Amino acid sequence: MQHGLVVKLLEILPCRIVGDPLQGIFDFGDNRPVQWDQHVRTTFHEVSGPTTPWRWANSNPAIGEWLMDIRGKLVSDQGVDLRHAPVQWLDCCDSKTVKAKQLSACFARAGKRGETVIAVHQWPNQCHNVASCLKGIYSCIEPVDAEDLYDSAQFIDTTTGFARAVAVLDFAGKCITKVRTELKTIRSALKDGNIPRVRKNQDQMRVLLEVADNNSLAAVKRALRSLTEVTGAVVYRRELLQEMERAAHAVFVGNADTLYEAAWVVRNRVRQRGRCLPRCGVGTTLLVKGLEFDHVVVLDADGFDARNLYVALTRGAKSLTIVSRDKIITPIKRRDASSEKGCL
């Protein structure tokens, strides 16, 4: 639809399309990227595309040249050979050691102070799983349209008493390690409508009972803060947790009527102003496309199609670490294939 609008504008204004079809990854749901040969070359005159990999020119020219070289192979869904590539490769051919290799790669790259790192996975649940094991050093990058935030906010809005306390506890469990396991007994009692009888985590129990007794969302904010203090707990979805705290505060001070409305307001600010990314993040290709980091760790290179693999490989300016089963990576097949060479 957007391309159709540009084509109509072409009737009254000079228009030029600048883009990289190899990064056309937004084809989920009903979305369909344009087919370069079918929709673009038939309408727009082709000119020479850029040939200098500027992102790497001053930081690691070898990676830039290698990425330029493999473009043609990825366009034609050929294997990418890492045997002489200027990258660090970690072998994960043994399925029992995959997770350990992924975590090791992430820890190794996080060691350089002041330099940014992105670990790229294919799916959100994979990102959450890996981030939860990285001792709070890495935090997940959340989508702007954060469904986990909206759904939890709406559920908290529509509950009262012990049910609201359980809703708050369940949301915290999505963001903080140890909450689901260490507070399992407390959650079970609250769910049954009983006051928990426990010796451990009494501070958290008290603030959750305050949520149950008090409709003020100030209690919700205090509960979320207290749950981060469970022994051994680390926050791995920091952005999501902070946005819920901001939403609760917005309702408390009268800037919104419901937590759901407040959640929408705080996320809309991200749309307008942009987000503050963590120094070390974990995210999908959809969330990191267009962003630049010092280092990138591709956590499961064998699981990407050609376009998503290219997006993942091109995020880091200084180094590239690849975790895969083989030194020759064959991209998985994509549902729509088209010729995608050059720029227009």
Which of 238, 273, 308 is where one domain is finished?
A: 273
Domain that holds residue 295: 1-141+277-344
Q: Judge if 93 and 36 occupy the same domain.
A: yes
Nearest to 298 by CA among 129, 124, 106: 106
Same domain, 223 and 90: no
Number of other CB atoms surrounding residue 84 within 10 Å: 8
What's the whole-number mean pLDDT along residues 229-251? Answer: 96
Whether the per-residue pLDDT at 343 is higher than 70: the answer is no
The closest of 83, 71, 145 to 311, measured between CA atoms, is: 71
Q: Report the pLDDT value the prediction gives residue 338, as an integer from 0 to 100.
A: 40
Query: What pLDDT is stored for residue 82 in this prediction?
Result: 96
pLDDT beyond 60 at 143: yes
Domain boundary residue among 273, 304, 328?
273
Q: In terms of domains, do 266 and 289 share one? A: no
Residue pLDDT, tens place only, 83-139: 999 999 999 888 888 999 999 999 999 988 889 999 999 999 999 999 999 999 999
DSSP letter string, 190-248: HHTT-----SSSHHHHHHHHHHHH---HHHHHHHHHHHTTSTT--BS-HHHHHHHHHHH
Dihedral angle of Cα 295, 62, 289, 266, to the nearest 10 degrees: 30
pLDDT tens sequence across 182-219: 999 999 999 999 999 999 999 999 999 999 998 889 99
Residue 193: C-alpha distances to residues 107, 160, 188, 341 (Å): 43, 12, 9, 62
Kindly report the pTM of this predicted structure.
0.90
Q: Mean pLDDT of all residues in the chain?
A: 92
pLDDT of residue 337: 39
Domain count, the chain: 2
Sign of CA dihedral 185, 263, 311, 135: negative
Q: Which of 66-70, 109-113, 316-320 is predicted with the least confidence, judged by mean pLDDT?
A: 109-113
User: Is residue 77 within 8 Å of residue 337, measured between CB atoms?
Assistant: yes
Give the pLDDT score at 340: 41
| Single residue among 273, 291, 321 that ends a domain in this structure | 273
Residues 51 and 99 in one domain: yes
> In 3D, which of 260, 286, 17 has the Cα closest to residue 156?
260
| Residue 282 β-bridge partners | 119, 140
Is residue 160 pLDDT above 80, yes or no?
yes
In the predicted model, is pLDDT for residue 24 greater than 70? Answer: yes
Query: pLDDT value at position 335?
Result: 53
The answer on 257 and 189 residing in a single domain is yes
Residues 25-35, mean pLDDT to the nearest whole number: 80
Residues of the chain with pLDDT > 70, as a percent, come to 97
**Is residue 341 pLDDT above 60, yes or no?**
no
CA distance 276 to 56: 23
**130 and 11, same domain (yes or no):** yes
User: pLDDT value at position 339?
Assistant: 38
11 and 133 belong to one structural domain: yes
Task: Judge if 137 and 1 occupy the same domain.
Answer: yes
Region 235-240: mean pLDDT is 97
Q: Which amino acid is at 247?
A: A
* Same-domain status, 190 and 223: yes
Q: Round to whole Å and give the CA distance between 141 and 284.
A: 8
